[in-house]
Amino acid sequence: MINYNNTEFILSAAGTSQFLRGADIPTVAIAGRSNVGKSSVINSLVRRKNFARTSAQPGKTAHVNYFRVDDTFYLADLPGYGYAKVSKAEKERWARLMESFFAEADLIGAGILIVDARHKPTGDDVTMCNWFKGTGVPLLVVANKLDKLKKSEVEPNLKRIEDTLGLIVTQLLPYSAETNFNREALEESVAELLPTA
Ligand code: GTP
Ligand code: MG
């Protein structure tokens, strides 16, 4: 059992030179659109309200934030994408940072892509999903903000996410960082993503 209470912030990487390399434990990268709830899902996992900063200013954090979880794996909170009001220069900085992150095979041991359970995944979501698929690492897709759906919407929405992202064997987990719905299932899925020691 991974003790998520035992999580510490390690560093905020602003550029390629600061990415964690040659670590003793694998890195699980969390990606998703700006405002989809990446930081909230991390907060939900570590059971602390303001651990990973939830942003009042979406699109402002073009850093890769690393956390060390129970000496078992690193969580890398990737900067969000798709926020309309971000300047062209910021978007280009984001693209350079992510391209260099995904280009280096050793930086990622597994991936978690967070999408919004309410919406059809965007073109950017599809691109990010394909970046993960391209690395060949195990991937988990989390459909967050499930609490905002009516019961009747759940199944069709999940199906639409699977179809749009072309998920065949990849697991899709409905989730709510707000209510912690499926938190235990998420913990189990994350454990399964990790290479067995
Ligand atoms: P960036 O760091 O800007 O990319 O955003 P992020 O993906 O880290 O999103 P963040 O965790 O900051 O959450 C964005 C907003 O969505 C916040 O107001 C959260 O409270 C809210 N939120 C996150 N998850 C959920 C959820 O499961 N349900 C509901 N209702 N709100 C959520
Ligand atoms: Mg965030």
On the question of pLDDT at 191 being above 60, the answer is yes
Task: Give the residues surrounding ligand 1 with Cβ less than 6 Å away.
Answer: 32, 34-40, 54-55, 58-59, 61, 80, 144-145, 147-148, 176-178
Q: Residue for token digits 């967050």?
A: 144
Burial of 112 (C-beta count, 10 Å sphere; 0-12/13-18/19+): buried
CA atoms within 13 A on the CB side of 3: 5
Q: Give this prediction's pTM.
A: 0.94
Instruction: Provide the b/e sequence for 12-21 (b: ≥16 CB within 10 Å).
Output: ebeeeeebbe
Q: Which helix (H) or strand (E) holds 131?
A: helix 123-135
Q: Give the number of the atom of ligand 1 that is nearest the alpha carbon of residue 43.
A: 11
Q: What is the pLDDT of residues 65-81, one digit of tens each?
A: 999 999 999 999 999 99
CA of 75 to the centre of ligand 1 (A): 17
- The minimum-distance atom of ligand 1 relative to the CA of 61 is 2
What pLDDT sits at residue 63? 87
Ligand 2 center to residue 184 CA distance, Å?
A: 22
Helix axes 88-103, 123-135, angle to 10 degrees: 20
CATH architecture of 7-193: 3-Layer(aba) Sandwich (3.40)
